[in-house]
């Protein structure tokens, strides 16, 4: 029982550390792309409402059975749906780049 509690505690600490590092990375990446679609309210809404980080975690632990490219394509399809106006090719590329970089972080 004590080992189970220790494992849960270690897992919780690891997840907290991962979350903090991921948030810091996202903040730096988005700050570096200030003035782009990544700083828009539509993107923020998409990121929160579509649970992007949760989907990536599910993919990483094997809960989603798809290739990385298929997974990213699905996330990009959700991004298209989340925006109030159609995405321009440059904006689509920025979102794709952000998701790929986040995925590989």
For the stretch 16-46, pLDDT in tens is 888 888 889 999 999 999 999 999 988 988 8
pLDDT for 1 beyond 70: no
SS3 78: helix
Question: Containing domain of residue 44, as a range?
Answer: 2-103
Of residues 15 and 27, which shows the higher confidence score?
Answer: 27
Helices (H), the chain: 2-32, 41-49, 52-60, 68-82, 89-103
Return the structure tokens found at 5: 């509690």
Give how many domains the chain has, as a whole number. Answer: 1
- C-alpha 76/C-alpha 95 separation (Å) is 8
User: Residues 57-94: pLDDT tens digits?
Assistant: 888 877 878 888 898 899 999 888 888 888 899 999 99
What's the rounded Cα separation, in Å, for the pair 35 and 54?
A: 26
Cβ(87)–Cβ(37) below 8 Å:
yes
């Amino acid at each position: 029982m004590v080992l189970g509690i220790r494992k849960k505690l270690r897992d919780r600490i690891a997840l907290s550390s991962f979350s903090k590092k991921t948030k810091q990375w996202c903040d730096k990446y988005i700050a570096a792309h200030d003035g782009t679609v990544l700083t828009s309210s539509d993107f923020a809404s998409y990121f929160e409402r579509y649970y992007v980080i949760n989907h990536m975690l599910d993919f990483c632990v094997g809960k989603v059975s798809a290739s990385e490219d298929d997974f990213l394509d699905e996330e990009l399809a959700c991004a298209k749906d989340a925006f109030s106006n159609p995405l321009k090719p440059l904006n689509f590329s920025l979102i794709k780049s952000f998701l790929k970089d986040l995925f590989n972080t």
